[in-house]
């Protein structure tokens, strides 16, 4: 089956899976994906969060990134 995700999206999903697994969680939750996206300071999510004035550092602290 061909993946329709970009390389960066695949990397974020892999990081979310690793985060969930490392925390002993049996499934990926949105917080795991958010943690993965916040860990990439030059990613699309960072630009979007900056554009709306979100405090990325505070978000990262809240999700444990």
Digit-coded pLDDT (tens) for 24-37: 999 999 999 999 99
> Do 46 and 60 meet the contact criterion of CB atoms below 8 Å apart?
no
pTM over 0.85: no
Please report the pLDDT score of residue 63 as a whole number: 87
Q: Are 25 and 32 in contact (CB under 8 A)?
A: yes
Distance (Å) of CA 22 to CA 17, 18, 25, 42:
8, 6, 8, 24
Closest CA to 5 of 32, 39, 33: 33
Residue 51 pLDDT level (bands cut at 50, 70, 90): very high
pLDDT band for position 64 (50/70/90)? confident
């Amino acid at each position: 089956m061909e993946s329709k995700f970009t390389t960066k999206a695949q990397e974020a999903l892999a990081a979310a899976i690793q985060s969930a697994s490392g925390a002993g969680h049996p499934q990926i939750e949105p917080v795991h994906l958010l943690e993965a996206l916040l860990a990439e300071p030059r990613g699309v999510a960072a630009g979007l969060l900056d554009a709306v004035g979100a405090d990325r550092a505070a978000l990262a602290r809240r999700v444990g990134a």
